[in-house]
Amino acid sequence: MKTSKQVLIKHEDDNSINISVFNNKILMEIAGSLDSNLKELEKISGSTIYFRGNSITIKGKKNANEKVRDAIEYLIKRFNIANKIDRNDILSSFNKDIIKDMKKESHVQPLEEVIKTPKRSVIPRSKKQKEYVKALKNNQIIMSLGPAGTGKTYLAVAVALSMLLEKKVERIILSRPAVEAGERLGFLPGDMKEKIDPYLRPLYDSLHDMFDYDKIQRKMETGEIEIAPLAFMRGRTLKNCFAILDEAQNATETQIKMFLTRIGENSKLVVNGDPSQIDLPNKNQSGLVQSKNILKGINEISIINFDHNDVIRHPLVTKIVEAYKKNTNDKG
């Protein structure tokens, strides 16, 4: 039996665990609207979850029940930090590395790890994400490589937005290579924003998750948030800004060098990419891994390598990423 001011956990037998949650707001957040969160926990674990009063009862195989118990403890901790529980928290609650880290850590999340944005407090979920956030805050140039779902883009946008609102930088620049258009954007209809918008949708999605749409539009009008294709970075010096180059696996070594050498006074440059998702006609043209290897000895440049263990999406995404990685290794 485990007890605290917020929760009482009682193992009734090998096939049943009862959790009493004494804070009603926490209980409602764990359950979710129409018990949607508990249904998701059931779906992921295979256990059956009963919810009545302030009590959550988990029935099923011992190992699966214990995973649900750990997940609920993790969700309580998340609520105590962010004052809410969202779908990503539900999915993260079954990540074995995150749960392992949770059991090692103290109950209180260090304040320097919390990223405050207008809509939400963004908190790194895994050990590697914490390293990444620390690098984003402390280094001038940051490179992160890894599969989709590891938080590379989301966390970079969160830190950039928080620094803009705290007036630590004067603007955010969002960029990526428009490979699908061959970077010949002049042939596409519309103004520059309309031409590049489709290619920057993941960056927009992250912004909208943290900041009101109207405020984003106003800051784009004033130039505090700038959208620019990678090809338009040439010849510029980026001062007092936080610039993010996303999908950098689709940039050549020359293009990445060009982007990094734009750095000016009081600026941060972030290069994100997934070496397993190269869209260039000749995959050998990708300069992401080569650039990482060239720059790894420079102290001022932080390089973070994510892998499938750091994926914070639906558990099925992790399995898909791992399957493709295994297939690639088998071919090699």
pLDDT for residue 156 = 96
Buried-state track 76-92, b at ≥16 Cβ within 10 A, e below 16:
bbbbeebeebeebbbbb
Beta bridge partners of 173: 226, 243
Q: Answer whether residue 184 shows pLDDT above 60.
A: no
Distance between CA atoms of 133 and 31, rounded to whole angstroms?
30
Q: Answer whether residue 148 shows pLDDT above 60.
A: yes
Distance between CA atoms of 82 and 316, rounded to whole angstroms?
26
Q: How far is CA 190 from CA 177, 185, 193, 238, 286, in A?
A: 18, 10, 8, 26, 29
Share of the chain above pLDDT 70, in %: 87
pLDDT for residue 179 = 63
The residue-averaged pLDDT of 132-142 equals: 95
pLDDT for residue 203 = 82
pLDDT tens readout for residues 196-228: 667 677 788 889 999 999 999 999 999 999 988
pLDDT for residue 138 = 93
| Burial class of residue 56, CB neighbours in 10 A (0-12, 13-18, 19+) | buried
pLDDT tens readout for residues 50-85: 999 999 999 999 999 999 999 999 899 888 877 888
Structural domains in the chain?
Answer: 2-109 (3.30.1370.10), 112-308 (3.40.50.300)
Q: Give Cβ neighbours of residue 219 (< 8 Å, ≥ 6 apart).
A: 164, 225
DSSP string, 1-35: -EE-SSEEEEEEETTEEEEEE--HHHHHHHH-GGG
Nearest 5°: phi and psi at 123? -130, 125
Q: Answer whether residue 1 shows pLDDT above 70.
A: no
pLDDT for residue 183 = 45
Handedness of CA 1, 103, 112, 175 (dihedral sign): negative
> Do 172 and 228 touch, CB atoms closer than 8 A?
no
> Do 174 and 203 touch, CB atoms closer than 8 A?
yes
Q: What's the whole-number average pLDDT of the chain?
A: 85
Only one residue has tokens 């809410």, namely 84
pLDDT for residue 320 = 82
Only one residue has tokens 């031409």, namely 195
Confidence of residue 107 (pLDDT cuts 50, 70, 90): very low
Q: How far is CA 197 from the centre of its chain?
A: 21
pLDDT tens readout for residues 240-266: 999 999 999 999 999 999 999 999 999
Q: Determine which of 169-173, 181-185, 291-295 has the lowest per-residue pLDDT on average.
A: 181-185
Q: Is the pTM of the predicted complex or chain greater than 0.75?
A: no
pLDDT tens readout for residues 271-300: 999 998 888 888 888 999 999 999 998 999
Q: Answer whether residue 318 shows pLDDT above 70.
A: no
> Do 268 and 213 touch, CB atoms closer than 8 A?
no
Residue 110 DSSP one-character state: P
| 193 membership: H or E segment, kind and range | helix 192-196
